[in-house]
Every structure is written in C-alpha cells, then in structure tokens.
Amino acid sequence: MAADFTELVTDMARRARAASLVLANCATAAKNDALHRLADAIDAAHGPLLEANRLDLDAAAANGLGAAQVDRLALNPARLTKLAVSVREVALLPDPVGDTLEEWSRPNGLKIRKVRVPIGVIGIIYEARPNVTIDCAILCLKSGNACILRGGREIFNTNTALAALITAALAGAGLPADSVQLIPTTDRAALNTLLKLDAYIHCIIPRGGENLIRFVAENSTIPVIKHYTGVCFVYVDRAADPEIAVNVLVNAKVQRPGVCNAAEQLLVHIDVAETLLPSLARALEAKGVQLRCDARSAVILERSGIPRMIAQPSDFTAEFLDLILAVRVVDSLEEAIAVVNRDGSGHSDAIITADPVAARRFQAGVDSAVVFWNASTRFNDGFEFGFGAEIGISTDRLHARGPMGLPELCIHKFLVDGDGQVRG
C-alpha cells in the first residue's frame, strides 16, 4: 500500500514557513548558541550515532554496495569529531543577515535601503553522505533559513539520529524546533509532493548525481539551484611556463579525480605541442592517468614513445571523474576559447601562460563560473575561496554561480522610509 505523504509533507512545509519568519529575525547569539549545543551534542553522542550508522552500514552491505560506497556512508569517532569542529567553525563565521548592501536617497526624499535577509525556506535533496545533513542544517540555520532535509535511503537511520540532535539543540537555544526538519521517509511520493509546495518553500538545492538533479529540476515548481558536476579544461598556451603547466595540470587531474572541479581535458597550443606535450604526458603517466588523444597529439606522443589511446568523439565532452584525460591540440588561443565554450560545462577552466594579454582574453572569453590563470581548477571551492563554508558549487547562472557560501543563502529586501510621499 502506497502511503499518502501529501498531508505530512505539506504540514512540515507550513511549519517550516512559520519557523522561517521567526528565524529571520533571530539574534546571531541565539543561532550560535544552537550551533554550539549541536557540536557538544555530537561530541557527547558518539555511541548512539555510531549505533544508528551501523544499521545503515549493515543494510548497505546486505544490499551489495561496494566497499567504497559503504565507506561514504560510514561514521567513525574521527569523522564525528571533525563534524563537531565544522559546526563550531560555522558559529565563528559572520552572520550574513541584516547587512546593508546598498542605500540611497531619491529626489522626492525617499530613503531606500537594500538589506540582506534569509531566502526563507530551503529544501535540500541529497543522497548518501551523512555529513551533508549537518552541513546543510547549520548553513541554513546560520543564514536564518528554515530547511527541510530529504536525505537518501542508504543513510536514513543515521540522518534520523542526527536530526534528533539538531532539534534538541534548537530547542535548547530557544529557536523554533521546526527550523530544521528531516522528512521521515525516503518514499519518492513525499519528494514529489515537496517539489510542488511553492507556496511555502522558496528554493530547492539538490546535492547528488546528475540524475537526481535532473529529476528535481524537471519536477520542481520551486526555483532550483543546481550543482551539476563539471567538464573542466586546462589550456596550455604557447607562452606557458613549462613547470607551472606540469604542476597545475597534474594537480587539476589527479589530486582528487572524482570531483566536479577536476580537469577532464587538456588543450595544448600547436606552437608548444612538440616541446611540452611529452613532458606533460610523462608527468600524468607517472600518476597513472590514461590519455585519450586527438590525431595531432597522438602523433607527438607516439614519437616520444608515450602510451596513449585515440579518443572517441564522446571523450571530448566527457566527464570521466577518473584518472583519464582527453587531449587535443589547438591552433590558437581563440580556438581554445571556442572549444571550452562549446564542449565544456562552464564550471572551472584554466589557462597556463606567462602572457597577461592571453590570460585576460581567455578569462574574458571563457564563459565559465571560475576562470583560472596559472592555478589549478581544484580551487573552485568555498573553503579555498575563503568563504569558510560552502553549501555547494552552483552551476546555475541565476542568484549564485560558483562556490555558494552563507551570503548566497540570502536574498535582499528593500526598506523604504518616507514622510508621506505619494506617487504623482
């Protein structure tokens, strides 16, 4: 029998909306108090949390998940300690709410102030890792947003245990308990209901694989901020410093190949292909990277006796998320820009060059969230940007683009002061 979750989820959303109106005007100290209580509770509850997590891990093993997948679900004392530390770090971040973003006066005497306020109610749809539950809850709380969390089936028991700690911390700090709510089911029908509740929920953030994000984007009547993964390029210009080229390319490809800001493709300017490609390829080979080459790069590498495959056309738009790199030779900076804009995903792209004119042309021409000059694509990250936290890396082009920190979880309102002005 399929349960009807419409009433349950609608009621949760209604309560979240009510909580959000209180939370929007809460003192920073109260929000930080809740965060400290939560951190202390995590520290004090290793036993029950690991017990709940064990249920999920046993079920995952029974369902035949691989070791790497099970590891993503796993908590242990070290991970819990780190989680509590991250909660305390968010308490230390400045409160984004209430900042005056702009203010001006009009000739008729009206004084207009644009102030930062929370978005309202945010729905977070995510998959496996249990730290996402805490990360999202604390970032929404600090930014004054109520949130509704819908985590993955694989981690349901762990999430339920974590959510109980959050609720208790909110109550202890005198904040509305409905500020953070976990949907108590992973039934798809509940998710479908949630995605239509635009009367109460103002923003949906899906965190997970492309299929999840696409499902959410296609079924939500609530605005969605998407976090797709990336097809990121490193372009080695004719004026590239060879050492920087090797270091940045290797870092962008191998430091963590399974993430969205890892490089998936190398473009090399024809003028330096003969001289630089072999050393770039050898450095990558030493790290176990498989190269999938276009005809021109294949010939050069063959002459140097370096193993390489001939690429399939699909490799040139692929997100490998693995130790694989597509390689092409381009005839000019302009071609490099055009190729990145055509075949990339607008996420994170880099030029390696000692020529500032080429660098600025690449940065202006490449239509991506972050365009690097002589630095690794791996730096597209909220912590690396100095935001202190991130809810994700937006691949959208409205509201937020690139790393999203606390201010990106806010919007503004206008306060207009008059002394009786009317419109003529």
What residues contact 86, with CB distance under 8 A and at least 6 apart?
Answer: 131, 134, 135, 138, 389
**Binding of a copy of itself at residue 259 (CB under 8 A)?**
no
Residues 191-210 that bind a copy of itself (CB under 8 A): 198, 202-203
At closest approach, how far in Å is the CB of 277 from a copy of itself?
19
**Binding of a copy of itself at residue 396 (CB under 8 A)?**
yes
Q: Say which amino acid occupies 365.
A: G
Contact 142, 31 (CB under 8 A): yes
**How many residues sit close enough to a copy of itself to count as binding (CB under 8 A)?**
68
Contact 180, 136 (CB under 8 A): no
At closest approach, how far in Å is the CB of 200 from a copy of itself?
12
What does the per-residue mask of binding to a copy of itself show for 109-138, with x meaning CB under 8 A?
Answer: -x-x----x-xx------------------
| The one among 40, 43, 241, 319 contacting a copy of itself by CB under 8 A | 241
At closest approach, how far in Å is the CB of 250 from a copy of itself?
8
Select 274 or 387, whichever has its Cβ closest to a copy of itself.
Answer: 387
At closest approach, how far in Å is the CB of 49 from a copy of itself?
30
**Binding of a copy of itself at residue 24 (CB under 8 A)?**
yes
**Binding of a copy of itself at residue 305 (CB under 8 A)?**
no
Picking from 344, 349, 346, the residue whose alpha carbon sits closest to that of residue 395 is: 346
At closest approach, how far in Å is the CB of 65 from a copy of itself?
29
C-alpha to C-alpha distance for 240 and 399, rounded to whole angstroms: 35
| Count of Cβ atoms closer than 10 Å to residue 327 Cβ | 27
Burial class (CB in 10 A: 0-12, 13-18, 19+), 283: middle
| The one among 248, 263, 333, 391 contacting a copy of itself by CB under 8 A | 248
Residues 313-352 that bind a copy of itself (CB under 8 A): 341
| Count of Cβ atoms closer than 10 Å to residue 149 Cβ | 23
Q: H or E element: which one contains 149?
A: strand 146-150
Q: Is 293 helix (H, G, I), strand (E, B) or coil?
A: strand
Contact 173, 39 (CB under 8 A): no
**Binding of a copy of itself at residue 375 (CB under 8 A)?**
yes
Select 90 or 213, whichever has its Cβ closest to a copy of itself.
Answer: 213
Backbone φ, ψ for residue 111 (5° rounding): -105, 125
| Count of Cβ atoms closer than 10 Å to residue 351 Cβ | 31
Burial class (CB in 10 A: 0-12, 13-18, 19+), 106: exposed
**Binding of a copy of itself at residue 186 (CB under 8 A)?**
no
At closest approach, how far in Å is the CB of 212 from a copy of itself?
15
Rg (CA), the chain: 24
What residues contact 84, with CB distance under 8 A and at least 6 apart?
Answer: 39, 40, 42, 43
Of 21-29, 63-71, 167-175, 295-303, the window that binds a copy of itself (rule: CB under 8 A) is 21-29
**Binding of a copy of itself at residue 251 (CB under 8 A)?**
yes
Q: Where are the alpha helices (DSSP H) in 117-269?
A: 131-142, 156-172, 188-194, 210-219, 242-254
**Binding of a copy of itself at residue 7 (CB under 8 A)?**
no
At closest approach, how far in Å is the CB of 60 from a copy of itself?
30
At closest approach, how far in Å is the CB of 110 from a copy of itself?
6
The CA–CA distances, whole Å, from 312 to 349, 367, 376 equal 22, 25, 26
**Binding of a copy of itself at residue 369 (CB under 8 A)?**
yes
Token look-up 């080429």 returns 358
At closest approach, how far in Å is the CB of 55 from a copy of itself?
36
**Binding of a copy of itself at residue 386 (CB under 8 A)?**
yes
Select 84 or 122, whichever has its Cβ closest to a copy of itself.
Answer: 122
**Binding of a copy of itself at residue 106 (CB under 8 A)?**
yes
Residues that bind a copy of itself (CB under 8 A): 21, 24-25, 104, 106, 110, 112, 117, 119-120, 198, 202-203, 217-218, 221, 223-225, 241, 243-244, 247-248, 250-252, 255, 341, 359, 363-365, 367-376, 378-380, 384-386, 396-399, 401-402, 411-423
